[in-house]
Amino acid sequence: MGEVNKIVSLLMVSIVVLCSCSEDKVSTDKLLRKTVEISENGTSTTTLYNYNGNEIVSVDGAKKYISYTYTDGLITKIITKDKESQWSVTLDYTYNKAQLVRMHSSEGYVMNYSHKGDGTVSYEKVVLDSQNQETKVFHGILYFENWNLVKDERIFDDSPQGVLSKQKVSFEYDSKNNPFYNILGYAKLLSHNEVISINNNRLAVVERVVIQDDQLTSSANLYQGVFKYDTDNYPVEHVTEASIVNPNYVKTQFFY
């Protein structure tokens, strides 16, 4: 009987430990509520993030308003509206077994994705003309390690005759928490590049190669930033001189 009581006590302790771990995990799954980007001349831009549970509803910035639509836990539509011109762009996402296979833009192009058994994802961008005739713009392969996008290799199919143009972007990450990864379905949006990764991108190297008439021209650009974190290992500040998506801002502050 003593052995039975001992086993029951051990089980109760195990359950308490498991519950405690679960509560800790939930408490540290933060959602990003606001960012403030401060430019080199000191001007600031605020962006607000709105949610329904862990589903993102909208992103309200100084120049753009972005709304999101979910279907069965997956983001199936994103509409971006320019506040000044009122021009809007709609992106429709299609999935197969919860994997993104197609993104259609109202601007007249399609991104097709194919998920491979080795974890890589091949993709292509196709432009549609008024008769829905397709012209391939580029194609490439995405490489992932430990839920991070680590490399994007691309060949440009719309280069002039006799010209081979290609690009490779390599990403390095910290070991901390990327708040965008906590947004339901966000990690499926392959067109969002390194932002879908589980960790924060701290360095990117963009290499470009053009081959024409047996002549090779190459270039490489390095983009890096420095993060500061809170006690839960989420970024509270990111300082950079240049970024792939925005080469102008210097500092971004994160609020949860």
**42 pLDDT above the threshold of 70:** yes
In this prediction, residue 112 carries a pLDDT of: 98
> With 80 as the cut, is the pLDDT of residue 243 above it?
no
Gap between the Cα atoms of 6 and 117, Å rounded? 47
Instruction: Supply the pTM of this predicted model.
Output: 0.84
Reported as a single tens digit per residue, the pLDDT across 78-97 is 999 999 999 999 999 999 99
Res 40: pLDDT:
84
Cβ neighbourhood burial of 109 (10 Å; 0-12, 13-18, 19+): middle
CA nearest to 72, candidates 95, 91, 90? 95
How far is the C-alpha of 39 from the C-alpha of 252, rounded, in Å?
9
- The answer for residues whose C-beta is within 8 angstroms of residue 109's C-beta and 6 or more apart is 125, 126, 127, 128, 137
Q: Strand 55-60 to strand 44-52: parallel, antiparallel, or no bridges (unpaired)?
A: antiparallel
What is the structure's pLDDT at 228? 98
Whole-number Å distance between alpha carbons of 149 and 119 = 11
Question: How confident is the prediction for the chain on average, in pLDDT?
Answer: 89
Q: What is the pLDDT of residues 207-231, one digit of tens each?
A: 999 999 989 999 999 988 999 999 9
What pLDDT, on a 0 to 100 scale, did the predictor assign at position 41? 85
Residues 82 and 90: their CA atoms lie apart, in Å, by 12
- 154: tokens are 């691309």
Give the Cα separation of 16 and 11 in Å (integer).
9
Beta-bridge partner residues of 208: 167, 219
Strand, helix or coil for residue 18: helix
Contact in structure between 31 and 182 (CB atoms under 8 Å): yes
pLDDT of residue 245: 56
pLDDT computed for residue 246 by the predictor:
58
Separation of CA 186 from chain center: 7
Cβ atoms 47, 37 nearer than 8 A: yes
In this prediction, residue 248 has a pLDDT band, given cuts at 50, 70 and 90, of low
The whole-number pLDDT of residue 132 equals 78
pLDDT at 128: 84
pLDDT band, residue 11 (cuts 50/70/90)? very low
